[in-house]
Structures are given as C-alpha cells and as structure tokens.
Structure 1
Amino acid sequence: MNIDLENMSLKELRDLQKAVGRQIDGFEAKKKEKAMAAAQQAAEEHGFSLKDLLGGGKSVKSTVAPKYTNPEDASSTWTGRGRQPLWVKGHLDAGGNLDDLLIK
C-alpha cells in the first residue's frame, strides 16, 4: 500500500495520523486480550485462576520497625520514614541529634 504523503494537506495528514494511532491502540488491545486469555487458560490447566496466581489484587503492606523513640514517652516511636513527628523536630531544634533517639 502506497500513500502519497507529499500531496496530502495538513488536515489530511493529521487525520491519517489519528487513524493510525487508533489502529495501533486497537492492535495492542487485541494482543493484550489474546495474551490474557492464553495466561488464563494456562492457569486453569494447572487448577488455578489467573487471579489466584497474581495474588487476587490484594496488596500486601510490609511494616517497618520503629527506629527512634521519644525519650519522654517510650510509646511514641518513629520509623525514620515520612514526616518527622513534632517530638523529633523539637529535639533537633534544641540542638539534639537523631542518634540520641535511636532505639537501643
């Protein structure tokens, strides 16, 4: 198939570009559907659903052990990730060091 791109107007070229984009997206979607069907069939041949093998969509959150503790209240801890608690900021503002708060 030969398309004479040189003699097409800008509008025709843009319309062609959109049409090609839609075809590419449709092609990729069909390939993905075929791959998903093949994966589902392979899983079923082994007695599983694809959802079983992929974890059922549940995300498992891991917990991080606390690394720092408030010297004035041992029940207040911080992992060292995310925003610093006020007691950590207060300690640092007072000239303290994070190492002072390490859980031993």
Structure 2
Amino acid sequence: MAIDIKTLNHNQLDDLIQKAETRKHELAKEKSVKLREKLTALAKAEGFTIEDLFSLKGAKRGAKRAPAKPKYRNPADHTQTWSGRGKRPRWFHAALTAGKKEKDLLI
C-alpha cells in the first residue's frame, strides 16, 4: 500500500501527516505498555514489585527543602540575615563596599 505523495494536495498531505503522527504515538504507547508488562513480570519472578525497584526512598517529587540556616548577619540591624545562597542582599554588598570582610559578617 504505497501512497504517491506527489498526487496529494495540501489538505490531503496535512491529513496524512496527522494520521501518521497519531499512529506513531499509538505505536510508542503500545511499546511502552509491553515493556512495562515485561518489567513487571521480570520483577515479580524475582520476588519484587516495580515500586520496590524504582521507588525513591525518602525523596518525594516536588518536595521542597527546608530553608537554609542564616550564615551572615547585618551588623547595623541584627534582624537582617542571609544564608549565603542566592543573590547577595544590599546590606551585605554595602558592608563589603564599606571595607568589611565576609568573615566579619559571619554569625
């Protein structure tokens, strides 16, 4: 069943491309399902589940880390702190410009 694409007009070509893309996705999904079934069977034969083999212990997707502890403190205003991560705060930059050293600002 060969299709002569030279005889197709623009709309027919678009329709053919759409059908080919849809079929391509269907084949990929079928292959994925078959592979998942094979892996599940192999894991079961060895006495495991897929979750046993591929779970991330202690780590959840999308979980955020706790904020970092402050490492530096503004000598002029002790309520202002910085963890040393991310962009330097203005007070930190101003203190360095004024002649202070990073070690002078450590908590």
Relative distance call for 1:44 and 1:58 in structure 2 (3 A) is farther
My pick for the range that moved more, 60-69 or 9-18, is: 60-69
More strand per residue: 1
State the distance in 1 between where 2:48 and 2:73 align: 49
Mind listing any 5+ residue stretches in structure 2 that lack a counterpart?
Answer: none
- Preserved contact between residue 66 and residue 79 of structure 1 (Cα < 8 Å): no
Residues matched between the structures, number = 98
State the distance in 1 between where 2:68 and 2:74 align: 17
Give the TM-score normalised by the residue count of structure 2: 0.67
Mind listing any 5+ residue stretches in structure 1 that lack a counterpart?
Answer: none
Give the TM-score normalised by the residue count of structure 1: 0.69
How do residues 1-104 of structure 1 correspond to structure 2 at under 5 angstroms?
1-55=1-55, 58-59=60-61, 68-70=71-73, 72=75, 76=81, 78-80=83-85, 82-84=86-88, 88-94=89-95, 95=97, 99-100=102-103, 101=105
State the distance in 2 between where 1:64 and 1:53 align: 31
Q: Percent identity?
A: 22
CA RMSD of aligned residues (A): 3.2
